[in-house]
Amino acid sequence: MAKEYKAKDLVVLEGLDAVRMRPGMYIGTTGVKGLHHLLWEIVDNSIDELANGHGNKICVTLHADGSVSCIDNGRGMPVDIHPKLKVSGVQVIFTELHAGGKFESNNYQYSGGLHGVGASVANALSSWLEVYVDRDGKRYHMRFESNEVKGHIKSGAPVTPLEVVGTSKSTGSLVRFLPDKRVFGDATFDFNTIALRLRELAFLNKGIEIILVDERLKGQKPHIKQFKYDGGVSDFVNYVNSTKTKLFPNPIYIKGKGEHCELEAAIQYTTEYSDTILSFVNNIPTSEGGTHETGFKSGLTRVLNDLGRKLNIIKEKDDNLLGDDFKEGLCAVLSIKMRNVQFEGQTKTKLGNPEIRPEVEGIIVDELSKALAKNDTKKVVDAIIKKAQGAAKTREATKKAKELSRAKNSIEGSSMLGKLASCTSKNPELNELFIVEGNSAGGTAKQGRDRYFQSILPLRGKPLNAEKKRIDVILQNEEIRSIIATLGTGIAENFDIESLKYNKVIILADADTDGGHIQSILLTFFYRYMKELITTGHVYVGMPPLFKMEKKGEIHYAYTDADYLEKQKKYGSGFSIQRYKGLGEMSAEQLWETTMNPKTRFLVKVTIEDAAEAEKMITTLMGDNVEARKAFIQENANFNRVDKYANIVGKDRGEN
């Protein structure tokens, strides 16, 4: 008999309880990324306050007890009583999901935190949260806690009223909270992740000082980083290009205002073959671009073609250069501020407002024309157009090379692709492709795989470094052509994620220097010409074990030196130890058990957390600037896999 379904069966989640019941709906995940999302919501509120002209300083502190605080010198949150809800403004901000001062333009002209749920979600998912407000000569305080009452957790409930606790000659707000371990487990705040985002915000908000303090280092002084950039987006471009050879020393700065948006942009060209456009809307990264990027590119192309003809650099008999020609070597930061933002897609990283495209294009045409019309910029224009003309000359060769890479007869005749061991499944959502270093390991992987859903593509040698060669040269490389053909997506502007034949693309290489180099080369190629493959979460790095430990038929595998020491301590001595030098030393059964079986393997998912930092890293490590690479390695190198994968082993087993 079916269970009755009546009104009494409906569960009503009051206040913040809905957030705790379904945290993923509000912060995406309860892992490390979701944990940091709580902080971003609080920081974004402070940034919005300062970006609208109220204050100039923010300090974020990671405290020893696991809590984090953010203080700004803005106006201070409202402390008076809300006319309808009959509680203080502070209580409204932290307990009402859809409440805030950003739904109308009276208080905030532009805002990154448009959802009205940020501060209250941080409160709902914390063990406790405290607020201090300096305003009107007084200091106010209020505390919220999430406590269990009769088996039910009451989320973010006030435990003290908003009360005056002192006097103050300044203004501003301080929020400190401790993320609830009942939600986030053992996840902790990462200093470098926070530093990257705060640096980005400092670039995008000229003159604002942002300080990051880490008090968690036992027995040591706090680690402090300070960010302030009076050059704003121009400094941002200089930072990204710091290891590249520039065609002209100073970025071209553009600023303008239209009916729907305000715009800032900085443009610089380098000798690189790839392009980097970092775009933002109200300080929010738009990694998938959108209407503002489209308008920017079309405006840039129009201006440079017009100036090229005016200066007789582009001859009358020649066709106009294409937008793709002007992209080669381009580094640009585009930041717009607007109301009523409409994002496209599930990830909310693509701007959809149609009215923004023509407006941005118009601003770029007007302001860039003015900036480049000066006499001292003629050499700059000449350098840009000649760079684009060089790109145009290779365009046809590149087109032919791409056609060659897609041509069925050339692929079937490839000795590389002839070694592809295809799976029998025709379901792309299930299928996996292992790109394996070397014929020997490839042969073992073919024997050990599950033939139904796992394909193996062994690499005969190292693919070309995509950072150092033009695409037409890269596409002559047998390994690269085979990878493109196997994935089925095409590359660059022809890339189509819907045509991807495999849900997981797994790089499987030896745990040594050569293996690391092959990983880097493949990831560089994916980043430059198949970036969406990474941003949509399809690229992984396999984790082969370093040690096999065997005693009386009992076998354990250790994936790092630290993992080995931990297992030795756990299981005692008397084990025979085998240190694997490469994948080829494993039997098919061992490779399956340790590296390929979804139930027992470790995979590292490749993500792009910060586009500017990823760009700088790729250029530094894979580009032509040897001195910059040496300096980076000396400062950052850690040749022990303990730290690199410490958060993987023993925690994220199987499909992670």
Which of the residues are catalytic? 437, 510, 512, 514
CA-based R_g, the chain, Å: 28
3-state DSSP assignment of residue 574 = coil
Bridge partners (DSSP) of residue 343 are 351
**Cβ proximity of 66 and 190 under 8 Å:** no
Phi, psi of 645 (to 5 degrees): -120, 20
Q: In residues, how long is the chain?
A: 656
CB-neighbour burial class of residue 310 (10 A; exposed 0-12, middle 13-18, buried 19+): exposed
Distance of CA 86 to the CA centre of its chain: 41
Q: Which two tokens stand for residue 418?
A: 């002839």
Q: How many CB atoms lie within 10 A of CB 582?
A: 17
For strand 57-62 and strand 209-214, is the pairing parallel, antiparallel, or unpaired? parallel
Angle of the 611-622 helix axis to the 233-240 helix axis, nearest 10 = 30
Burial 506-529 (b: 16+ CB within 10 A, else e): bbbbbbeeebeebbbbbbbbbbbb
Instruction: Report which of 622, 591, 320 is spatially closest to residue 437, judged by C-alpha positions.
Output: 591
Instruction: Report which of 358, 343, 114 is spatially closest to residue 260, judged by C-alpha positions.
Output: 358
Strands ordered across the beta sheet of 261-269: 252-257, 261-269, 330-338, 276-281, 284-285
Cα three-residue angle 145-43-88, rounded to 5 degrees: 50
Dihedral, CA of residue 414, residue 420, residue 425 and residue 429, to nearest 10:
-90
Instruction: Report which of 264, 262, 276 is spatially closest to residue 229, judged by C-alpha positions.
Output: 264
Phi, psi of 265 (to 5 degrees): -150, 150
Phi, psi of 61 (to 5 degrees): -125, 130
